[in-house]
Amino acid sequence: MSHTIVLGVIGADVHAVGNKILHYAYTQAGFFVVNLGVMVSQEEFVQAAIESEAKAIVVSSLYGHGEIDCRGLREKCIEAGLENIKLYAGGNLVVGKTPFKEVEEKFIAMGFDRVYPPGTDPKTSVDDINKDLASL
């Protein structure tokens, strides 16, 4: 199904390569992708989700500050009336090589629905997104 999703790299992060490939992969998978590119603020993610009536926000963070940058995104979504929006995060989310379990717990506690370890194949998330959004 042609779900609308918002995609972007959060914070002061400029890693663009993965973003371009994710955009391509999600488009190939049939999603309508609103790609905000790199260096995206929480406000821009929320704004774009409202404007495009997206059902999901896919956040990348590669550079390590993901932990600081992603805090509060869920709350901002709720404030903006996006109670049910799905939040996904992936990339190299924290500083340093860290057991993924710890990272996952941290981001789930922040209100993300799914969290992915470094280098996850975009296909994995396509299947997840399809499953999650079908039930909405």
Partner 1 sequence: MNIKNKKLDLNEFMQIRENVLLDWPTGKEVNLEEAFVFQKSLPAHLSFSSLLADAKKNQYILIQPRAGVAALDKHIELLQYLQDVGTADCLPSTIDSYTRHKRFQEAQQGLEESIVEGRSLLNGFPAVNHGVSGCRRLIQSVKVPVQVRHGTPDARLLAEITLAGGFTSFEGGGISYNIPYSKNISLEQTIRDWMYVDRLIGLYEEQGISINREPFGPLTGTLVPPSISHAVAIVESLLAAEQGVKDITVGYGQCGNLIQDVAAIRTLESLTQSYLEEHGYTDMKITTVMHQWMGGFPQDEAKAYGVISWGAATAAFAGATKVIVKSPHEAMGIPTMAANAQGLMTTKQVVSMLKDQRMPLTQELKAEMSIIEQETRSIVDKLFELGEGDIAVGTIRGFEAGVIDIPFAPSKFNKGLILPARDNVGAIRFLEVGNLPFSDEIKAFHAQKLQERAAYENRSVDFQMVIDDVYAIGKGKLIGRGSKGEQQ
Per CB under 6 A, which region of 44-52, 72-80, 87-95, 104-112 contacts ligand B12?
A: 87-95
From the list ligand B12, partner 1, none, partner contacted by residue 120 (C-beta under 5 to 8 A by kind)? ligand B12
Instruction: Give yes or no for residue 12 binding partner 1 (CB under 8 A).
Output: yes
Map 4-56 to HEC letters: EEEEEEECCCCCCHHHHHHHHHHHHCCCEEEECCCCECHHHHHHHHHHHCCCE
Q: Is 23 a catalytic residue?
A: no
3-state SS, residue 103:
helix
Question: CA-to-CA distance for 55 and 42, rounded, in angstroms?
Answer: 16
Positions in 86-115 near partner 1 (CB under 8 A): 92, 94-98
Return residues touching ligand B12 (CB under 6 A): 12-18, 21-22, 58, 60, 62-64, 88-92, 95-96, 116, 118-120, 122, 125
